[in-house]
């Protein structure tokens, strides 16, 4: 019945005397010294090969001068190393980008790995609750790899068995604080690994000038700004509907105007029509000549314009039925983009019940049936709560600019997005730092991407009107 227990005095465990201390000493198995030496040797060799493989540049920079001075003395080493150093400095000053790619970021990655991440890994993991220290043993997620880009450290981590991405997403604040970063974002990789992104600087901290008007007509994706990694930000408008949410002054106007700017050449060839609804009279009215007769500001006119868009859509659907399932823009059937600035003025805040009902019904019809027949809606909104915009889920693509409350982020971008690093409520309210900055989620990935829309100034809009207003039918 009782299993034989290891140790020297198991019989003492059961004691009838209350104050007798239970003494339990486990058997000590003596490992032969040679086995220990082989294990340590093997580990050292493996870590040397790994370091060589992962950080060849750093190893060369550190090892070559040492080897040369041991073999030939420090004077010869200095003589040989100096020209290489001078060459590197010249390379760095002549072609910064290639130097950074081949040498700079690799050296920095190695330095950040040993000085920041490896040094703080154990305490940060244990204190944040992502690792455990049990009976003298550490159970820690494995720090796999550190890569540096111009603006961030990308840290690849192998999770502990049984951990979920949510465990990491819930602790982004601890991780950022622990490794001295301003923020941390978590994205999923395959094979039980996650990538932590720690921004070192903010490439979107300065306003971007308006993107040049494309030379060839395009129906999108339209280049409207920049992503955090420096690549252009393209916004898809044809074949989708876009909802832009942001508090007052968040820069919704720059997304609207950058989109219009990118589509203007296609508008002038008749492949795109922009229908503008401007209930606040403050945004689209500035370039109303660009929209020809398809501009409305008064709520009743807006309702009529939306009803017309529904009629166009239904007529197309009737013609396309049984012939094609997706829309290719032509002069006869152009892509219709319905732009609505501050949609809540027409829906939630509209006092006239009948108008409100008509407008909400038209918007719901367009957003549920429009994309296959070439009718898209782009709407902006200050307050993304369901009471204000109950059809927000009918918009497949959403953009979260600066928001007032943290809960609003998930309302716009979907559950759990804020935990993964979409800190739209922390975007600076100072226009030069934060206007036009926001987060998007691409269809292909659950990870939010930080972006900034280019700023289309009043002068740019005047020039657009001067160049294109005569060409709108
Ligand atoms: N992309 C941008 N880059 C830099 N500054 C910007 C950008 N977009 C807007 N701004 C600045 O922020 C101010 C507010 O922008 P905008 O009017 O577009 O905000 P909004 O979100 O439309 O606000 P509201 O809801 O009050 O209409 C602008 O006057 C401009 O100075
Ligand atoms: Mg506005």
Q: State the distance from the centre of ligand 2 to the C-alpha of 253, rounded, in angstroms.
A: 5
Ligand 1 atom closest to residue 342's alpha carbon, by position in its atom list: 25
Q: What is the pTM of this model?
A: 0.80
CATH number at residue 361: 3.40.50.300
Q: Which long-range contacts (CB under 8 A, 24 or more apart) does 125-133 make?
A: 127/174, 127/178, 128/171, 128/174, 128/175, 128/178, 129/171, 129/174, 130/160, 130/163, 130/167, 130/168, 130/171, 131/160
User: Which residues in the chain show pLDDT less than 70?
Assistant: 1-24, 443-444, 470-473
> Residue 238 falls within a domain, yes or no?
yes
pLDDT of residue 2: 46
pLDDT of residue 11: 56
pLDDT of residue 56: 82
Convert the pLDDT of each residue in 27-52 to its tens digit: 788 888 999 999 999 999 998 898 88
- Statement to judge: residues 302 and 428 lie in one domain: yes
Q: Say how many domains are in the chain.
A: 3
pLDDT of residue 234: 94
Domain that holds residue 158: 106-201
Ligand nearest to the CA of residue 428, numbered in listed order: 1
- Statement to judge: residues 288 and 336 lie in one domain: yes
Residue of minimum CA distance from atom 30 in ligand 1: 431
CATH number at residue 138: 3.30.980.40
Q: State the distance from the centre of ligand 2 to the C-alpha of 341, rounded, in angstroms.
A: 7
Report in angstroms the alpha-carbon separations of 284 from 38, 272, 290.
Answer: 75, 17, 9
Q: State the distance from the centre of ligand 1 to the C-alpha of 463, rounded, in angstroms.
A: 19
* Ligand 1 neighbour 406 (Cβ under 6 A): no
* Ligand 1 neighbour 435 (Cβ under 6 A): yes
- Statement to judge: residues 116 and 193 lie in one domain: yes
Prior bond of 221 cis (ω within 30°): yes
Ligand nearest to the CA of residue 247, numbered in listed order: 1
- Statement to judge: residues 166 and 310 lie in one domain: no
* Ligand 1 neighbour 457 (Cβ under 6 A): no
Pairwise CA distance, residues 421 & 423, whole Å:
6
Ligand nearest to the CA of residue 382, numbered in listed order: 1
- Statement to judge: residues 111 and 138 lie in one domain: yes
> Residue 429 falls within a domain, yes or no?
yes
Helix, strand, or coil (residue 399):
strand
Ligand 1 atom closest to residue 208's alpha carbon, by position in its atom list: 3
* Ligand 1 neighbour 207 (Cβ under 6 A): yes
- Statement to judge: residues 312 and 385 lie in one domain: yes
> Residue 26 falls within a domain, yes or no?
no
């Amino acid at each position: 019945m009782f299993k034989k227990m290891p140790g020297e005095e198991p019989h003492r465990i059961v004691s009838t005397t209350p104050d007798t201390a239970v003494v339990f000493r486990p058997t000590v198995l003596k490992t032969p010294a040679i086995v220990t030496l082989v294990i340590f040797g093997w580990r050292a060799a493996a870590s040397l090969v790994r370091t060589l493989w992962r950080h060849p540049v750093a190893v060369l920079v550190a090892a070559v001068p040492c080897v040369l001075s041991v073999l030939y003395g420090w004077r010869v080493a200095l003589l040989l190393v100096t020209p290489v150093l001078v060459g590197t400095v010249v390379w760095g000053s002549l072609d910064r980008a290639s130097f950074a790619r081949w040498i700079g970021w690799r050296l920095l990655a190695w330095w950040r790995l040993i000085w920041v991440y490896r040094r703080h890994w154990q305490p940060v993991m244990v204190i944040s609750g992502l690792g455990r220290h049990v009976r003298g043993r550490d159970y820690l997620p494995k720090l796999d790899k550190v890569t540096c880009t111009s603006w961030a450290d990308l840290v690849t981590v192998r999770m502990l068995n049984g951990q979920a991405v949510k465990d990491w997403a819930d602790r982004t604040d601890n991780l950022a604080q622990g490794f001295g970063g301003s923020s941390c974002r978590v994205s999923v990789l395959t094979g039980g690994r996650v990538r932590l992104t720690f921004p070192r600087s903010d490439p979107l901290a300065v306003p971007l000038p308006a993107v040049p008007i494309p030379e060839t007509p395009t129906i999108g994706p339209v280049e409207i700004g920049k992503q955090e990694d420096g690549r252009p930000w393209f916004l898809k408008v044809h074949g989708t509907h876009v909802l832009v949410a942001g508090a007052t002054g968040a820069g919704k106007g720059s997304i609207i105007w950058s989109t219009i700017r990118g589509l203007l050449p296609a508008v002038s060839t008749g492949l795109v029509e922009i229908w503008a609804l401007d209930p606040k009279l403050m945004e689209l009215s500035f370039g109303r000549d660009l929209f020809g007769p398809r501009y409305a500001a008064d709520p009743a006119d807006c309702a009529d314009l939306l009803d017309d868009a529904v009629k166009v859509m239904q007529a197309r659907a009737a013609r396309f039925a049984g012939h094609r399932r997706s829309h290719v823009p032509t002069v006869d059937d152009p892509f219709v983009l319905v732009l609505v600035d501050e949609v809540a003025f027409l829906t939630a805040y509209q006092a006239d019940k009948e108008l409100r009902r008509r407008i909400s019904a038209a918007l719901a019809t367009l957003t549920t049936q429009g994309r296959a027949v070439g009718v898209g809606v782009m709407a902006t909104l200050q307050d993304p709560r369901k009471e204000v915009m109950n059809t927000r889920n009918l918009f497949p693509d959403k953009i979260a600019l600066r928001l007032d409350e943290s809960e609003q982020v998930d309302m716009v971008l979907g559950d759990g997005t804020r935990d993964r690093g979409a800190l739209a409520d922390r975007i600076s309210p100072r226009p030069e730092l934060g206007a036009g900055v926001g987060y998007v989620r691409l269809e292909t990935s659950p990870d939010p991407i930080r972006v900034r829309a280019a700023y289309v100034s009043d002068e740019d809009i005047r020039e657009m009107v001067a160049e294109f207003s005569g060409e709108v039918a």
